[in-house]
Structure 1
Amino acid sequence: MLMIYVTSFVKVNHDFQKSTFSKRYLDNGLKSNEDVKKLNPETLIYAKRYFRDCIIHHQQIIKLVEIVESEFNYLMLIQFLGSLLLLCLSLFQLSINDIRSTRFFSMLCFACLMLFQLLIFCWNGNEVLVESLEIAFAAYDSDWFVCDIATQKAVVLVIQRAQRALQLSAGKFAYLTLETYMSILRASGSYYMVLRKVNE
């Protein structure tokens, strides 16, 4: 189940990279309406189709993120809380075991794997956030002015929508970002210190 979640993140990241508005198919150096009028009509038709495809793709990405968020947010909350508890307990086990024992080594490996698992989710969630905000800049930097008025208005709507970041959460409690990852590390360290005080 967790692999489906990670795969969904990777797909969203890939889709954002593919949907970035590109100027490579248009003539560079378009500065004014006079330059646009000099363009080949086939280039203008291609640009209109390309922008339309990018806009449709952006809408599909938004729907995909909404589906992933609605299906997995409570699962991620359980995952995060469980990981926080297990990480705290494994740190406690590390502190009471001898460094040369196999139990110490196995608990160290377990703690590292728990940290890595959380990092995968938070890193990809952070990438979704960052890439979703980049869409507005990419759309603005494109040669949108070579298209007809309807397409220009659609690009403006894409820019407005892209200014609201797409975010994935853990049960609507915390967003999956690198900041959340750091707060989990701090919280597990704090809980570890409490357990250590109780044990003394």
Structure 2
Amino acid sequence: MGYQQIDCFDIHLKILRILGVWPHDNPSIYYIYFSRIFVFTFTVLYVVIYTMNFYFLPQQLEVFADELIFYFTNVGALSKALAFIFLRDKVKKMLFMLESEIFQSDDPEEIKLIKEGKEKSNFYWKITAGLSVSANTVNVCLPLLVHIIFSVELEFPVCRYSFIPEKYEAMFAYPAYFYQSIGITTHMLYNVNIDTFLLGVMFLAMTQLDILDRKLRKVTDVCINPDAARGSVDKFIDDQNAVLEIIKCIKHYDAICEYCKLIQDAFSEILFVLFSSGSCKICMCLFRFTMPATTGYFVFLTLYVTVMTLQVMVPCWFGSRLMDKSSQITIAAYDCDWTPRCRRFKSNLRLLVERANRPITIIGGKMFLLSLGTFTAIMNSSYSFFTLMRHMQSR
């Protein structure tokens, strides 16, 4: 069948390979050194310098709030990159399972479902990448163009390194600017490709549940003599065929559960950091709204907090959709023509229904259930932290 499932992740893995976190199966020594140097220089060291910069910032609450908004974003990107490196074997196992025989199909309708799932994954990547690259390009290039055309002071894309002495600012202005530009672009690409990769594998999990739903509703269609007399040869053959089909469905459901468990194992830490940092970023944006700023900056804050909210909401929404689709398996099982079938068929069907009564879930960091309920809790906690900070500020 070829790469019927995972070829929709080619663009994600190519970009992550360029960024040093997804090597080939047998990477050369040159790639290993490149990966270590690149990740350390533009990810680890980038965040370390950003952290060190807080010590030298002016003692102004507005300045600290501005810096913290981007700081949580950079810490999140660092954690995603490191998690993808250290959990690479689990990701490979998950992709290998997608290409296993049980997830392949020759049925035109099922192939159509798989194709639609891949198209949705690619479409979401295009939308996210397009918006992120456009916003990052403006953020990185606009200050430099304004500096060159109008001869104004060069503004850094993320933060001004306050630890650089004034007498050396002119000397390090351009190197620091280009270092920050490469760093923030790298972090943006980590966020875009790892986040959309996670949503892509969840798309395919939901596609497999749709395929299983369709199979269960038609599991008794293999019976060619539905009116055959009890005890006849035709009745026996039909029952045996139906039993074989329901066993295949049980194995398919087991494979989907195992696949979703691999998603959880591979992305548990990433989801934990995503939700934790997302809550902090939303809180800091709300807090920054209470301080004086220009109209342009308030517009930026509005767009930024909207994007951060969507970044948390979308995985939660997909997690809820995954639970809903897995819950539909029991309805699909009862929708088939099971009443005239043999006792063995009914026993297997009941076994599948009992297992499907517990929806498939994905948990981040052994704490956050991927659901809309978790999204509501995160927004409530962000607002609670915001009111606490407002209370402390008023005192």
Superposition TM-score, scaled by structure 2 size: 0.44
Q: 1:71 aligns with which of 245, 249, 266?
A: 266
Deviation at 1:23, TM superposition (A): 4.0
1:58 match: 253
2:280 match: 85
For 2:256 and 2:199, the matched residues in 1 are separated by 16
2:87 match: none
Structural mapping, 1:102-141, within 5 Å: 102-141=296-335
For 1:96 and 1:14, the matched residues in 2 are separated by 47
Higher relative contact order, structure no. (Cα contacts within 8 Å, ≥ 6 residues apart): 1
| Aligned partners of 1:44 and 1:146 also within 8 Å | no
2:228 match: 37
The answer for unaligned runs of 5 or more in structure 2 is 1-193
**Amino acid in the other structure paired with 1:134:** Q
Deviation at 1:137, TM superposition (A): 2.1
**Amino acid in the other structure paired with 2:198:** Y
For 2:348 and 2:198, the matched residues in 1 are separated by 31
2:199 match: 6
For 2:278 and 2:364, the matched residues in 1 are separated by 12
2:392 match: 198
1:15 match: 208
Deviation at 1:45, TM superposition (A): 6.9
For 1:163 and 1:50, the matched residues in 2 are separated by 20
Q: Secondary structure of 1:19's partner?
A: helix
Cα deviation code 1:39-92 (max 9, x no counterpart):
x87876765554344323212111111111111112211111010001100111
2:350 match: 156
CA 199–126 in structure 1, closer or farther in 2 if over 3 Å, else same: same
The answer for unaligned runs of 5 or more in structure 1 is 28-33
For 1:180 and 1:59, the matched residues in 2 are separated by 26
Number of matched residues?
193
